[in-house]
Amino acid sequence: MELPPKVNVCECWARDGIQGEDHFVPTEKKIAMINRMAEIGIKRIEVTSFAHPKLVTQFADSIEVLKGISRHKDVTYIAIVPNDKAFDRLLDACDKGYGVQEITAIISASEDHLLANLEKTFTEAMPPLASLVRRARAAGLSVIGCIGTSFGCPLAGEVPIEKVYELTEWYLEQGATSIMLGDTTGEANPLQVSQFYARMKERFPKVDFISHFHDTRGMGLANTFAALQQGIVYHDCSFGSIGGQPATKRPKYHKGFSGNTCTEDMIVMMNEMGIQTGLKDEDVIQTALLAENMLGKEANGHVTRSGIVRHRSREVLNGNSLYAGMKIFPGILLLTPETIKEKPGLKLPELAIRKALEKSGPLPEKLTFDLDKVNVRGSLNERVILVTRFKVAAVLNHGERAVLEVLSQKSDGQVYLDGVLTIAFS
């Protein structure tokens, strides 16, 4: 099995993610989230949709969002554009300096789904979509040719791969620069995905395929892994695994959970496998928690609750690696009278704290502790097992000091230490 050494993820929270939310997400929150995504290193971001505001009210502020976001030269900003009128609006924004570099054009491989989603047949949908793709390419924009329900349809069942072949060829003829195979309602399974991509890559070896899975049946990560096994580099995801059918008055065709593959879980999985994502686990988790705060609800990410996989760092602990709210992995310590005698110049509370911090990585030689606000709840006169936990309360003076909340408990649950300590790195 040979996995790609690095990937390029597209964050869909600001479009596919929130399009199913019943309430309008304020424009300033959308802008703040998009800016945060770029700041942590995400290189492809779906920023908005140009769907008619009367149909999908969530994107009535598409122009305001485009005007408000900060621009990063190495980030590709993407918008969904359904028709020529929508493209006229986008082109005007591009001419005024606040457009996007890439658009997504959408058609379904299932005509039943196309009727439910766009109220059009293939014969009705394809000519205007072809015009849209050609206009976008003439304007210098890249075009993602999205084929929804590629892996199956909730309204029609199985979708023949021959139809996906046909639509891929058609998109390429119009000038599409990449092809997204959308598992729109989470119909796919990993074996199907692996076989599907193998056949697609054999038929279209030079095409950049984008994987886009939904976690409706809990297989979003498994399907992403299957796509990775076939060498797919471009992957869509959404913070908190939110997303799905747009909130409109049209009949619902998507039962159960509708969200995209979860960004934070996907990134941690890839990083753990040694695939370069260009993203730090901690940054992604913090952004996922910010996304939850933006929507006022707990989302469906696993690592936001569990934290990342524990690895002892090789880097010496420093203030710049800490941030407010960060939880440091707990440390366990066996203390005996002999252990205590071996450290005659070190007070027992500091010994417990040092040993616990050393479980996460090496400490600087000149690290000092202020324990004035740490409470000692008992004595340790016999063999004791301590579990010590830390949470960063604040980082001060540009990383020269940090304030940590500490809780140290004996194996029976009794508290030995609690309170707040300050550590100085110089």
Give me the sheet containing 401-410, strands edge to edge. 327-335, 384-396, 401-410, 415-424, 368-376
Positive or negative torsion for Cα 114, 116, 118, 123: positive
Measured CA to CA, the distance from residue 421 to residue 373 in angstroms comes to 6
How many other CB atoms are there within 10 angstroms of residue 313's CB atom? 11
- The model's pLDDT over 359-382, given as tens digits with 9 standing for 90+, comes to 999 999 989 999 999 999 877 767
Q: Show pLDDT as tens, one digit a residue, over the chain (426 residues).
A: 689 999 999 999 999 999 989 899 999 999 999 999 999 999 999 999 999 888 889 999 999 999 999 999 999 999 999 999 999 999 999 999 999 999 999 999 999 999 988 889 999 999 999 999 999 999 999 999 999 999 999 999 999 999 999 999 999 999 999 999 999 999 999 999 999 999 999 999 999 999 999 999 999 999 999 999 999 999 999 999 999 776 556 666 667 788 999 999 999 999 999 999 999 999 999 999 999 999 999 999 999 999 999 999 999 999 998 989 899 999 998 888 776 665 555 588 888 899 999 999 999 998 999 999 999 987 776 788 999 999 999 999 999 999 999 999 998 899 999 999 999 997
Residue 426: the pLDDT is 77
pTM of the full predicted structure? 0.91
What angle is formed at CA 98 by the lines to CA 93 and CA 101, rounded to 5 degrees? 90
Closest CA to 416 of 344, 332, 358, 359: 332
Residue 10: the pLDDT is 98
Check: CB of residue 178 under 8 Å from CB of residue 234.
yes
CATH architecture for the domain at 8-306: Alpha-Beta Barrel (3.20)
Check: CB of residue 349 under 8 Å from CB of residue 417.
yes
Residue 340: the pLDDT is 64
Residue 201: the pLDDT is 97
How many other CB atoms are there within 10 angstroms of residue 267's CB atom? 28
Check: CB of residue 393 under 8 Å from CB of residue 405.
yes
CATH superfamily of 319-424: Hotdog Thioesterase (3.10.129.10)
Closest CA to 80 of 16, 150, 18: 16
Residue 37: the pLDDT is 98
Measured CA to CA, the distance from residue 150 to residue 156 in angstroms comes to 12
Q: Which residues contact 27 (CB under 8 A, 6 or more apart)?
A: 61, 64, 65, 68
Which sequence spans correspond to the domains of the chain? 8-306, 319-424
Ranges of H-type helices in 307-368: 337-341, 348-358
Residue 344: the pLDDT is 55
Q: Which residues contact 172 (CB under 8 A, 6 or more apart)?
A: 145, 179, 204, 207
User: Would you call 143 helix, strand, or coil by DSSP?
Assistant: strand
Residue 346: the pLDDT is 59
Closest CA to 247 of 3, 30, 27, 55: 55
